[in-house]
Structure 1
Amino acid sequence: MMTKKEKGSKSAKMLYRPIGLASSILSGVIAGIVFKKVWEKVSHSDGAPKALKSEFGLGQVLVAAAVQGAIYAGVKALVDRGGARLFQRATGEWPGD
């Protein structure tokens, strides 16, 4: 038997889905911008090494990918957490529980 809290949490999750999708897109865009700026500062070059560009070594490509992944994960966590807090303030329910 479901309690009121469980029913509310299920509806909160459903209501949060469009917000979660939008925040994922937003975090990807923000992370891309942040990565580009960080890479330009660190490497003093215009673009990050791409896996299919022959002028970059495997080590360079892997470092760029690791930095990009770390930035994306951090930005996504910040945006997701912020979106969940805003949702909780608006509805009184936490969307992830």
Structure 2
Amino acid sequence: MLELSCRVADPRGLHARTCVALASVAADFSCKATISFADATVSASDLMGLMALEAGSGDEVIVRCAGRDEAEAARAIRHVLASGMTGGRPTL
């Protein structure tokens, strides 16, 4: 299992577009990926759960990935969070 801390870079925090990008990227991998903020942990592919976290710009979230492609998944999720990416796919 990989665990890493990431800051939310988007000035609007985890808003709908960023959450869609996160859920889409996470769904591309077979490993189990979660994101934690405050006292809540949700699946990284759960759009509504991600939005319910209400993490703001600059907030630190914990990404956990466990499974065969955990390193690639963690890298892709970190890219979305760190770049504020709201569309497309990261280059791995």
Q: What is the TM-score with the length of structure 2 in the denominator?
A: 0.28
Q: Is the helix fraction higher in 1 or 2?
A: 1
Q: Which has the larger radius of gyration?
A: 1
Higher strand content, 1 or 2: 2
Using the size of structure 1 for normalisation, the TM-score is 0.27
